[in-house]
Each structure stands twice: as C-alpha cells, then as structure tokens.
Amino acid sequence: MMRFTVVGGGAAGVLAAIHLRRHDPSAQITLIDASGRPGTGAAYGTSDPAHLLNVPAPRMSAWPDDPDHFCRWLNEHAVSTFEGFAPRLAYGR
C-alpha cells in the first residue's frame, strides 16, 4: 500500500489528495493543514456570496476528463452564477 502525506490543505493540497485517491483507492493519504478548514484556503474561504471567482465556471472543474463537473454541481445545488462566474464560497464547498 502506498502512503502519502500532503502538507497544506488549500485547493492544491485537497485536489492532489482526491486525485491520488482516485488513482489508487487503497492509498493511505494524510492531509496536514494549519487552518482547520481544508479545501478553502485563501481563495475560496470567503463567506460572502458576492465574492466571485475570477475564472468562468466552465473552466473550474477539478476533473480534466469531466470539464462540466463544476457546472453540474452548481446546477444540482441551485447556485447562480453572474455572467458565468460562480461565488468563491461555492467552489470551496
């Protein structure tokens, strides 16, 4: 069994961890983060829904082989975008 330790639980660390998990479901992955709120980091930790991403939602999928994933998630959770830009907190969720 492969073991991984990811230090830093912002977007990059969490996305690295989930890609490792998808690649090797049996891997043991430890995520170390100082914030207590893994996944949000500086960019997606806001609580204000008026703070929008600076990249359009169709280009924010975490899965290269499923580029519509984030847009589907927004629709399923009834999250509105503004001219194609989603709230930062939605990406954090």
Ligand X SMILES: Cc1cc2nc3c(=O)[nH]c(=O)nc-3n(C[C@H](O)[C@H](O)[C@H](O)COP(=O)(O)OP(=O)(O)OC[C@H]3O[C@@H](n4cnc5c(N)ncnc54)[C@H](O)[C@@H]3O)c2cc1C
User: Which of 8/29 has CB closer to ligand X?
Assistant: 8
Task: Choose which of 22, 35, 63, 75 interacts with ligand X (CB under 6 A).
Answer: 35
Task: Choose which of 6, 10, 17, 89 interacts with ligand X (CB under 6 A).
Answer: 10
Q: Identity (one letter) of the amino acid at 36? A: G
C-alpha span between 91 and 44 (Å, rounded): 6
Q: Contact between 9 and ligand X (CB under 6 A)? A: yes
By CB under 6 A, the residues from 47 to 86 that bind ligand X are 53-55
Residues 6+ apart with CB under 8 A from 41: 9, 10, 11, 12, 35, 92
Site for ligand X, rule CB under 6 A: 7-13, 32-35, 41-43, 53-55
